């Protein structure tokens, strides 16, 4: 599966890529040189809207977007790298990119809001930033968005 590193201006795209299960690093601040060496070292494809960066000579692979529309960016990427076959929505932490793990409700019950505890039984959590995920309203909105990106 191709791995990505998004430049500082593509935070929204990075979040959605993680949501779809694609390995994507993102930093709010990173120097272009660091971005390039990280991409080369970890064999990641740089995602950017920065034409100057795109035109620099380097060993790193790079994908340049003309559009600022996140949905269109996603569709372009999926098409360019055949990402549909790696599609694994909600398998990765959208905050830190770590693959999520299934967790028993009883182990996290004391951390859940009352309503969530009442209505949900399936939970995943991020072993790095310790966030708990469940399939609530937020999940449904995200799912609708993903369906509009990848029509089934
Ligand atoms: Zn995390």
Q: Using the mean position of ligand 1's atoms as its centre, give its distance from the Cα of residue 132 in Å.
A: 9
Ligand 1 center–CA 90 separation, angstroms: 12
The model's pTM is 0.91
How many helices (H) and strands (E) the chain has is answered by 7, 7
pLDDT in tens, 10-49: 999 999 999 999 999 999 999 999 999 999 999 999 999 9
SS3 call for 144: helix
- Whole-number Å distance, alpha carbon 7 to ligand 1 midpoint, is 19
Q: What is the pLDDT of residues 76-105, one digit of tens each?
A: 999 999 998 998 999 999 999 999 999 999
Residue 19 CA to ligand 1 center (angstroms) comes to 12
What is the signed CA dihedral for 104, 134, 89, 19, rounded to 10 degrees?
-120
Question: Ligand 1 being an ion, which residues bring their Cβ within 5 A of it?
Answer: 93, 95-96, 98, 126, 128-129
Spacing, Cα 58 to ligand 1 middle (Å): 31
The whole-angstrom separation of Cα 138 and Cα 10 is 21
Q: Is the dihedral of CA 15, 16, 22, 24 positive or negative?
A: negative
Taking 90 as the threshold, does the pLDDT of residue 151 lie above it? no
First to last CA, the chain: 21
Token digits of residue 114: 């009352």
**What percent of the chain is predicted at pLDDT more than 90?**
85
Instruction: Give me the domains of the chain, ranges plus CATH numbers.
Output: 3-86 (3.40.50), 101-149 (no CATH)
The DSSP string of 91-125 is: -B-TTT-PBPEEE-HHHHGGGS-HHHHHH---EEE
pLDDT digits (tens, 9 = 90+) for 38-82: 999 999 999 999 999 999 988 899 999 999 999 999 999 999 999
Note whether 49 and 65 are within 8 A (CB): yes
107-127 pLDDT, tens digit per residue, is 999 999 999 999 999 999 999
Helix (H, G, I), strand (E, B) or coil at 46: strand
């Amino acid at each position: 599966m191709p791995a990505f590193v998004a430049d500082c201006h593509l935070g929204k795209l990075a979040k959605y890529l993680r949501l779809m299960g694609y390995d994507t690093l993102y930093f709010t601040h990173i120097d272009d040189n660091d971005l390039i060496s990280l991409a080369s070292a970890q064999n990641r494809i740089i995602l950017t809207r920065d034409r100057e960066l795109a035109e620099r000579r380097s060993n790193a692979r790079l994908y340049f977007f003309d559009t600022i529309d996140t949905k269109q960016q996603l569709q372009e990427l999926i098409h360019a790298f055949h990402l549909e076959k790696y599609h694994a929505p909600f398998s990765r932490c959208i905050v830190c990119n770590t693959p999520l793990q299934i967790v028993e409700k009883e182990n996290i019950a004391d951390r859940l809001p009352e309503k969530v505890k009442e209505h949900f039984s399936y939970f995943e959590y991020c072993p790095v930033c310790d966030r708990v995920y469940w399939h609530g309203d937020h999940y449904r909105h995200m799912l609708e968005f993903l369906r509009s990106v990848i029509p089934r």
